[in-house]
Amino acid sequence: MTTRTTTPRQDGFRMPGEFEPHAGCWMLWPCRSDNWRLGGKPAQQAFVEVAKAIAAFEPVTIGVSRSQYQNARYRVPDHIRVVELSSNDAWMRDVGPTFVTNDKDEIRGVDWQFNAWGGLKGGIYFPWDQDDLVAQKVIEIEKTDRYKAPFVLEGGAIHVDGQGTLITTEECLLNANRNPHLFKAQIEQYLKDYLNVEMIIWLGRGVYHDETDGHVDNLCCFIRPGSVALTWTDDTNDPQYKISVDAYERLQSATDARGRRLKVHKVHQPGPLYMSETESQGVDQIEGTLPRRSGDRLAASYVNFYIANGGVVMPFFDDPQDEVARSRLQALFPDRTVVGVPSREIVLGGGNIHCITQQMPKV
């Protein structure tokens, strides 16, 4: 594995949009009992269902730690690849590589610094040493070259249109617990250098009570260049209301890298949903890990979906909005099959389908 000392921008590599063709999808295996209830068994079942749904469209590989290898290999169907790969938790979107491609059919992986969503100043658990090695290990299994980015970033904190535009949030990227030594202009320059974008659209806050400090991938994403989906509520008393209105206004007034106005599609949220007493009691309470408390508002959003080759795999919450949202997304993705997968067990752990997946583009 060659680690390049240049940047993707210098070498003519860009991050494709998620809606561009994939070679496959990477995931990790949930097992830490201080985040996933009942020893992770319900979450494992949910992850398997997500993997199966995606594998109907493209190849899926799941990385699993040594101690869980045989259990994972038993629970995961044969047509989904399982490889040994240690991690501290199971958020492949945030700890995995961001793949970039050029117009000569070459692919490389960007390995960001990772500090568990805030390090010692509000991070979710300690340590995160194995998470920080995941990108490198995936890149080496995939036999691509690597860029080592010199700043903290999670894959869930960004979305791109593949045509020069990036969307992110101030709450996350300008948070003092990520890159306190960098000014906004420096962060913008790094994003431009490592993802080869021209235009950065800054939203404000992410979804209410999202423990990632407002990852954009739970709030808003590109459906295609020029078109975005935004999680929404009409309930003016919901703290999410102001967040979505602010994002809507910023998106409406933005232009993308090619000078287009964005078309913004509202997708109404479920619930609101809350963690139950039973659910909370199934989680180990460990000093240093974000506690899972009864009554906690869940950061549930339908926007946290994964776009696969010919498909969209979206969260379902056993909520009346599920089918409404699915119809909405199906209309927005007329050429793909939109599939809902029950994912309450995933959102209980702090994220959703987009957070636990990472695409590898096809070249």
Nearest to 159 by CA among 259, 362, 15, 297: 15
CA-to-CA distance for 146 and 165, rounded, in angstroms?
22
Share of the chain residues as helix, strand and coil, in percent rounded to the nearest 5: 30, 25, 45
Q: Which of 7, 65, 175, 358 binds its own copies (CB under 8 A)?
A: 65
| 73 versus 263: smaller Cβ distance to its own copies | 73
Nearest to 352 by CA among 311, 305, 317, 320: 305
355 given a catalytic annotation:
yes
Q: How far is the CB of 96 from its own copies (least distance, A)?
A: 14
Residues 213-272 that bind its own copies (CB under 8 A): none
Cis bond leading into 272, ω under 30°? yes
Q: Which of 33, 102, 136, 227 binds its own copies (CB under 8 A)?
A: 136
Q: How far is the CB of 1 from its own copies (least distance, A)?
A: 6
Q: In 219-278, at which residue ranges do the beta strands (DSSP E only) sit?
A: 220-224, 227-232, 263-268
Residues 113-132 that bind its own copies (CB under 8 A): 130
Q: Which of 14, 22, 137, 328 binds its own copies (CB under 8 A)?
A: 137
Q: Which of 23, 38, 56, 133 binds its own copies (CB under 8 A)?
A: 133
| 38 versus 83: smaller Cβ distance to its own copies | 83
Kindly indicate which of the ranges 14-22, 67-75, 109-117, 190-198 contains the residues binding its own copies, using the contact rule CB under 8 A.
67-75
Is position 23 an interface residue for its own copies (rule: CB under 8 A)?
Answer: no
Is position 5 an interface residue for its own copies (rule: CB under 8 A)?
Answer: no
25, 172, 221, 355: the active-site residue: 355
62, β-bridge pairs: 27, 82
Is position 38 an interface residue for its own copies (rule: CB under 8 A)?
Answer: no
Kindly indicate which of the ranges 47-55, 71-79, 224-232, 317-325 contains the residues binding its own copies, using the contact rule CB under 8 A.
71-79
Q: How far is the CB of 139 from its own copies (least distance, A)?
A: 10
Q: How far is the CB of 211 from its own copies (least distance, A)?
A: 26
Nearest to 312 by CA among 331, 336, 283, 328: 336
Nearest to 50 by CA among 90, 17, 87: 90
| 86 versus 330: smaller Cβ distance to its own copies | 86
| One-letter amino acid for residue 263 of the chain | K
CA-to-CA distance for 349 and 277, rounded, in angstroms?
15
| 85 versus 290: smaller Cβ distance to its own copies | 85
* DSSP code of residue 144: -
Q: Hunting for tokens 């969260």 — which residue is that?
A: 315
- Tell me if residue 215 falls in helix, strand or coil: coil
Is position 69 an interface residue for its own copies (rule: CB under 8 A)?
Answer: yes
Q: Which of 140, 234, 235, 323 binds its own copies (CB under 8 A)?
A: 140
CA-to-CA distance for 119 and 178, rounded, in angstroms?
8
Q: Rounded to the nearest 5°, which phi and psi values hold at 241?
A: -55, -55
Nearest to 142 by CA among 312, 362, 356: 362
Handedness of CA 190, 196, 199, 204 (dihedral sign): negative
| 73 versus 242: smaller Cβ distance to its own copies | 73
Is position 104 an interface residue for its own copies (rule: CB under 8 A)?
Answer: no
Kindly indicate which of the ranges 68-76, 161-169, 223-231, 257-265 contains the residues binding its own copies, using the contact rule CB under 8 A.
68-76
- Contact residues for its own copies, defined by CB under 8 A: 1-3, 65-66, 69-70, 73, 78-79, 81-86, 130, 133, 136-137, 140-141, 143
Supply the residues annotated as catalytic.
355
